[in-house]
Structure 1
């Protein structure tokens, strides 16, 4: 260890950790953006029937009048995923027609777009 610069190694290690954390955050943001885009696509046209037919959600440009207005309800992702898997009221279950990845993407999208994400 160089006595003139006893903290140099600590600074380098700290910089390396910060760089790693920043790079991981970038990947997580990319994954979140991809999941959001997939969820929006499924909401508008991918699910059968499409969520937008029944639900109003400003971000999707949908004005469905059968289900609740999602911008007002602001459900979190867990609530949306549960409704998609098991159905809720007049809403059918989608677990037989959507893959789990699609359900999670839809749940992520609805929660973020409606302001219900936590």
Structure 2
């Protein structure tokens, strides 16, 4: 998919929904629920391609470590990894990997909000 096809406001909101961002217009607060993209990572269908394509176009704003963590979690160019497995590779705790993931996804969402001027 090319830039114009992927970089739409609908796809930006879809990405925000998949990372469960509070900034998404569709956000509904629920405690302790898994991220919606977990189901996408399991079946790797059309929505997976949409999610990963948008991520790939936006990851230029992330640090090398954030990209490594998200690539590992999303299973890009390798098998999906758990927080514990990623933590062992980087010599960090599971909770630190979760913080890095959260911070990286917040950066991506902020960039999408800025790009499309999305209002909650």
Considering the TM-score relative to the shorter chain, is it more than 0.5? no
Return the index of the structure with the highest Cα Rg.
1
TM-score by length of 2: 0.27
TM-score by length of 1: 0.27
